[in-house]
């Protein structure tokens, strides 16, 4: 309108020719003449009336070409166009083609897009963002909390409110959790996806520490458990940029609606458990999703059912099971520790740094992304869970020789060998330690002969030498061929007036 006013000013006030006016305003001479003709037909003169705004000027110069229907040509249902444009693969070009097929005398593509843009500009700002159906799920926590009272003690604990909202339909999910820590964060995600009945393509969380280990503008470092959760459901995680609230405007608006239409409605109620609170939130959530939009003849639920649900990918057969991760170095005994219990890994990984994934049921050990061990979870502190195949062959052989088997083998060699092996187990702190010593002693038999081993054990019993090294030394030095040493003479009792003797106590 400014250019039209300038054309009229230059003509009627300055008296310039149409050619000069066209050169000054950058329009064709025919356009200058058209503007003058329309102004005269509308009964206008210069100066224009002060109370004539640009909208009224446009209406008088171009009757029927305002922001409503420009002429008698039909316009589509813009709500339906807006709804269809959210579906995957649907473009305005395709919608215009379908419109022209139905109305051959309808508007051309440029005007079709212009009137759609004008209509969309009148919508509520929360619907102006372009989000394809099934593409993004925005997640965040409310700043507001809800107190939950312990019936027994009367103590109050604040529950955190988790909110998830789909991009295209604004369909909203909310629930209460005790904390914003990783177990509650993952659990809320799992329940949100099952509430929706499908998976979006992208998750858009805030840079919450539970989800993002280290914030970065371009490549945020995701928490391993959160990354495993995303892989399980086939979802990409794209956190919002730091200090960029517009990246999560969708969920910010949904958080406001949850605080207004759910938490505010529950402010006068007292809750005594998280289950009770979540039941109340679910009732209010149904009302929120059924509320019609102010400028669309739709609700969150109707948009979700017609547009968004068909675009979601199916859920996996089994829900994601929460798991913790930790890094550890494999000990020299080829075991790693989780909550005080020790689990074996293949002995070839001794001293290597590994990653451990553990749930309430299982413990898994990974090295360079490869799963090298898996165990059922045990809760016995100080205990040990060992897989035979993880042990070196020498250690596996030790396991094959139980104390009973070793003692039976020793008795077959001779009486003294049997007695010696029995004393070895009596003096050992652990059966495995006694088994290793006994196995070493018995293996001296094939090397030196069973008869010599029997005589060596006889000599070792006399001198109270029960180690493998002592038996081997006797055999190497040939001491077993010598007569057995005489037992030391008994020490006579000490006779003294101050010593009462054994008879005193009878």
Q: What is the pLDDT of residues 210-246, one digit of tens each?
A: 555 544 443 345 677 888 888 899 998 888 755 455 5
Spell 143-162 as b/e; 16+ CB within 10 A means b.
eeebebeeeeeeeeeebbbb
Distance, CA of 1 to CA of 38 (rounded, Å): 13
Q: Is the distance from CB of 185 to CB of 201 less than 8 angstroms? A: no
pLDDT of 71 above 70: no
pLDDT of residue 68: 46
Quick check: helix, strand or coil at residue 206? coil
pLDDT tens digits, one per residue of 336-364: 999 989 999 999 999 999 999 998 889 99
Give the residue with greater pLDDT, 326 vs 8. Answer: 326
Between CA 27 and CA 332 the distance in angstroms is 87
The pLDDT, as a whole number, for residue 488 is: 66
Nearest-angstrom CA–CA distance, 242 and 207 = 7
pLDDT band at 52 (very low <50, low <70, confident <90, very high): confident
- How far is it, in rounded angstroms, from Cα 326 to Cα 322? 14
246 against 144, higher pLDDT: 144
Q: Which residue has the tokens 């009964």?
A: 43
pLDDT for res 398: 65
- For residue 282, the model assigns a pLDDT of 94
What's the pLDDT at 67? 46
pLDDT digits (tens, 9 = 90+) for 83-113: 788 776 678 888 888 888 888 888 888 888 8
- What is residue 313's predicted lDDT score, i.e. its pLDDT? 93
Mapped onto helix, strand or coil, the DSSP state of residue 498 is: coil
Quote the CA–CA distance of 382 and 374 in Å, as a whole number: 19
In this structure, the number of other CB atoms found within 10 A of the CB of residue 74 comes to 11
The pLDDT assigned to 125 comes to 47
Distance CA 269, CA 146 (A): 10
Contact criterion met (CB below 8 Å) for 170 and 138: no
At 69 the pLDDT is 46
Q: What is the pLDDT of residue 81?
A: 84
pLDDT of residue 427: 85
Does 124 score more than 80 pLDDT? Answer: no
Q: Specify the pLDDT at position 295.
A: 67
Q: Say if residues 377 and 342 touch (Cβ distance below 8 Å).
A: no
* Backbone angle region of 324, left / alpha / beta, with phi > 0 → left and psi within -120 to 50 → alpha: beta
- Label residue 166 exposed, middle or buried (CB < 10 Å: 0-12, 13-18, 19+): buried
Q: Which of 191, 189, 194, 184 is nearest to 204 (CA)?
A: 189
The full set of domains in the chain, from first to last, is 2-61 (1.10.10), 78-122 (no CATH), 136-311 (3.30.420.10), 324-390 (no CATH), 396-481 (no CATH)
φ, ψ for residue 383, nearest 5 deg: -75, 175
Distance CA 15, CA 7 (A): 11
- Pairing, β 370-376 against β 362-367: antiparallel
What confidence score (pLDDT) does residue 379 get? 82
What's the mean pLDDT in 300-329? 90
pLDDT at residue 178 is higher than 90? yes
Q: What is the 3-state secondary structure (H, E, C) of 38-84?
A: HHHHCCCCCCCCCCCCHHHHHHHHCCCCCCCCCCCCCCCCHHHHHHH
Percent of the chain's residues with pLDDT above 90: 32
The pLDDT assigned to 128 comes to 46
Average pLDDT of the segment spanning 286-291: 90
Residue 401 has pLDDT above 90, yes or no: no
Is the model's pLDDT at 198 over the cut of 60?
A: yes
Q: Which residue is it, tokens 């100080």?
A: 382
């Amino acid at each position: 309108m400014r250019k039209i006013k300038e054309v009229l000013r230059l003509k009627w006030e300055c008296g310039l020719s149409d050619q000069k006016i066209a050169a000054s305003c950058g329009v064709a001479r025919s356009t200058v003449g058209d503007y003058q003709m329309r102004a005269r037909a509308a009964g206008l003169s210069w100066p224009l009336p002060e109370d004539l705004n640009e909208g009224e000027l446009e209406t008088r110069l171009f009757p029927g070409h305002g922001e409503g229907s420009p002429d008698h040509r039909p316009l589509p249902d813009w709500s339906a166009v807006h709804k269809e444009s959210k579906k995957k693969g649907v473009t305005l070009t395709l919608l215009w083609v379908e419109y022209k097929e139905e109305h051959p005398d309808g508007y051309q593509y440029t005007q079709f897009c212009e009137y759609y843009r004008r209509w969309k500009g009148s919508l509520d700002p929360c619907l102006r963002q372009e989000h394809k159906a099934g593409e993004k799920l925005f997640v965040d926590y409310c700043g507001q909390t809800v107190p939950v009272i312990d019936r027994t003690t009367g103590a109050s604990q604040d529950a955190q409110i988790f909110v998830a909202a789909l991009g295209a339909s604004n369909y909203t999910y909310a629930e209460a959790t005790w904390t914003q820590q990783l177990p509650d964060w993952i659990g809320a995600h799992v329940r949100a996806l099952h509430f929706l009945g499908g998976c979006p393509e992208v998750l858009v969380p805030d840079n919450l520490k539970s989800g993002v280990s280290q914030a970065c503008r371009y490549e945020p470092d995701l928490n391993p458990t959160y990354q495993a959760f995303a892989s399980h459901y086939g979802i990409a995680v794209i956190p919002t940029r730091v200090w960029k609230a517009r990246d999560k405007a969708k969920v910010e608006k949904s958080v406001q609606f949850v605080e207004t239409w759910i938490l505010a409605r529950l402010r006068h109620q007292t809750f005594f458990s998280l289950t009770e609170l979540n039941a109340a939130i679910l009732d209010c959530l149904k009302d929120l999703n059924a509320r019609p939009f102010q400028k669309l003849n739709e609700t969150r639920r109707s948009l979700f059912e017609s547009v968004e649900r068909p675009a979601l990918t199916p859920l996996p057969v089994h829900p994601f099971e929460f798991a913790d991760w930790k890094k550890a170095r494999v000990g020299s005994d080829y075991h790693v520790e989780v909550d005080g219990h020790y689990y074996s890994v293949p002995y070839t990984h001794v001293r290597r740094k590994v990653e451990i994934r553990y749930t309430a049921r299982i413990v898994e050990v990974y090295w360079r992304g490869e799963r090298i061990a898996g165990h059922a979870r045990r809760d016995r502190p100080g205990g040990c869970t060992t897989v035979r195949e993880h042990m070196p062959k020498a250690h596996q052989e030790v396991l094959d020789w139980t104390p009973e088997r070793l003692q039976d083998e020793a008795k077959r060699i001779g009486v003294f060998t049997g007695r010696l092996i029995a004393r070895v187990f009596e003096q050992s702190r652990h059966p495995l330690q006694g088994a290793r010593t006994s196995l070493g002693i018995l293996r001296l038999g094939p090397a030196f002969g069973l008869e010599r081993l029997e005589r060596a054990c006889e000599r070792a019993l006399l001198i109270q030498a029960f180690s493998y090294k002592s038996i081997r030394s006797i055999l190497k030095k040939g001491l077993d061929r010598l007569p057995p040493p005489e037992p030391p003479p008994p020490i006579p009792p000490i006779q003294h007036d101050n010593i009462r003797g054994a008879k005193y106590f009878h």
